[in-house]
């Protein structure tokens, strides 16, 4: 199977009835960007920018960041998307130069975009660095993590607009929201109506955790934090429908996008882009090619009617062997 999938890795992922799904990569640096290209990625759906900020005593400068973003962009085929997620740290991952007071409940505290809104200098520097890489070849897209309220989004977007206007950069840079807090999925219709909000990408790792109120790293609970829980799939399906009404696209950048069994269900729910771990790309593409969109939709309808993740997984044969 691997050999067959590898032979077709550079071909697009199109269902048997002609529906194309973008298959892109999750990356954590420039080397990953290069490797993703060798595995058939059609761009990058999530650059976790944390790697630039960890294990150091001062924040990376604007020039330092811009050079890395431009290197990532140049590693891609010209015109491919490069979604850069702004710094996603929080009280559980302290950075010495970015003091976040200790919290009782860091996963419900100052994390993700909340850090940038509390300490806008860091966010502003990062946005300027991204804008500086806008002409490096890829289609740059900025994505804010852990947006929970409309106020979060509007504040983050206002900061982006101010920096873009001040930069004089004319190349379009898209702006989107990471859908990983249930409130954003539930209010997808209102978020989709926001001017200047171009796209959404579901972080199913956190979305599942927050939907079930279970820590994804908890030794006793992690096994139950399954993104195939029908509650999570229902949120994704409803969000996709609301976004498509407004002509906005929905990606998945959480781990479930690399899960072969989940692929036809996600496609049937209306997901436009799957952002996978690099090694999973050829087999995710192969999974898309195996089904018709009609069958995917039927599977999705059955999945959201299921009562447990086990029932959902039983819908799609697992022929990994």
Residue choice 206, 226, 259, 273 for contact with ligand PEP (CB under 6 A): 206
Name residues whose C-beta falls within 8 Å of residue 25's C-beta, 6 or more positions apart in sequence.
Answer: 32, 33, 36, 39, 41, 43, 44, 45, 46, 275, 276, 277, 278, 281
First to last CA, the chain: 9
Residue choice 9, 48, 74, 244 for contact with ligand PEP (CB under 6 A): 48
Q: Pick the piece of the chain touching ligand PEP (CB under 6 A) from 126-134, 188-196, 201-209, 286-294.
A: 201-209
- Asked if residue 45 binds Mg ion (CB under 5 A), the reply is no
The pairing of strands 20-27 and 13-14 is antiparallel
- Asked if residue 203 binds ligand PEP (CB under 6 A), the reply is yes
Pick between residue 277 and residue 295 the one whose CB is nearest to ligand PEP.
277
For 126: left if phi > 0, alpha if psi spans -120 to 50, otherwise beta; the answer is alpha
CA distance 291 to 294: 8
Tell me the per-residue interface mask from 73 to 112 with ligand PEP, x by CB under 6 A, - otherwise. ---------------x------------------------
- What is the DSSP code (8-state) at residue 236? H
Size of the residue set binding Mg ion (CB under 5 A): 3
Q: Pick the piece of the chain touching Mg ion (CB under 5 A) from 52-60, 132-140, 177-185, 286-294.
A: 177-185
- Asked if residue 227 binds Mg ion (CB under 5 A), the reply is no
Angle at 187 between CA 296 and CA 128, to 5 degrees: 100
CA dist 311 → 105, 208, 259, 263, 306 (Å): 33, 17, 16, 15, 6
Shortest Å, Cβ 199 to ligand PEP: 15
For 315: left if phi > 0, alpha if psi spans -120 to 50, otherwise beta; the answer is alpha
- Asked if residue 203 binds Mg ion (CB under 5 A), the reply is yes
Shortest Å, Cβ 205 to Mg ion: 5
Q: Give the three-class secondary structure for 122.
A: helix
Tell me the per-residue interface mask from 214 to 253 with ligand PEP, x by CB under 6 A, - otherwise. ---------------------------------------x
Residue choice 32, 152, 206, 272 for contact with Mg ion (CB under 5 A): 206
Size of the residue set binding ligand PEP (CB under 6 A): 10
The footprint of Mg ion (CB under 5 A) covers 180, 203, 206
């Amino acid at each position: 199977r691997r050999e067959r999938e590898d032979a077709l890795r550079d071909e697009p992922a199109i269902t048997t009835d002609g529906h194309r799904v973008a298959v892109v990569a999750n990356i954590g640096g420039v080397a990953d960007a290069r490797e993703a290209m060798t595995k058939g990625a059609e761009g990058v759906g999530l650059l976790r920018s944390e790697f630039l900020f960890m294990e150091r005593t001062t924040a990376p400068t604007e020039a330092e960041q811009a050079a890395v973003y431009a290197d990532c962009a140049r590693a891609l085929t010209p015109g491919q998307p490069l979604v850069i997620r702004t710094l996603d740290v929080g009280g559980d991952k302290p950075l010495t130069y970015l003091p976040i007071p200790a919290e009782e409940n860091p996963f419900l505290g100052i994390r993700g975009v909340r850090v940038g809104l509390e300490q806008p200098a860091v966010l502003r520097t990062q946005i300027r660095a991204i804008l500086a890489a806008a002409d490096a070849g890829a289609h740059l897209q900025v994505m804010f993590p852990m947006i929970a309220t409309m106020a979060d989004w509007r504040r983050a977007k206002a900061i982006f607009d101010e920096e873009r206007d001040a930069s004089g950069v004319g190349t379009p840079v898209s702006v989107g929201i990471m859908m990983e807090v249930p409130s954003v999925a539930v209010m997808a219709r209102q978020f989709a109506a926001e001017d200047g909000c171009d796209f959404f990408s579901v972080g199913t790792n956190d979305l599942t955790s927050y939907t079930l109120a279970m820590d994804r790293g908890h030794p006793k609970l992690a096994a139950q934090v399954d993104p195939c829980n029908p509650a999570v799939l229902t949120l994704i399906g409803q969000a996709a429908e609301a976004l498509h009404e407004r002509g906005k696209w929905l990606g998945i950048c959480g781990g479930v996008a690399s899960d072969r069994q989940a692929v036809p269900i996600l496609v049937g729910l209306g997901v436009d882009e799957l952002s996978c771990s690099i090694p999973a790309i050829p087999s995710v593409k192969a999974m898309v090619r195996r089904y018709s969109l009609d069958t995917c939709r039927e599977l999705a309808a059955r999945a959201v009617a299921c009562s447990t993740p086990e029932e959902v997984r039983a819908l799609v044969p697992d022929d990994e062997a």
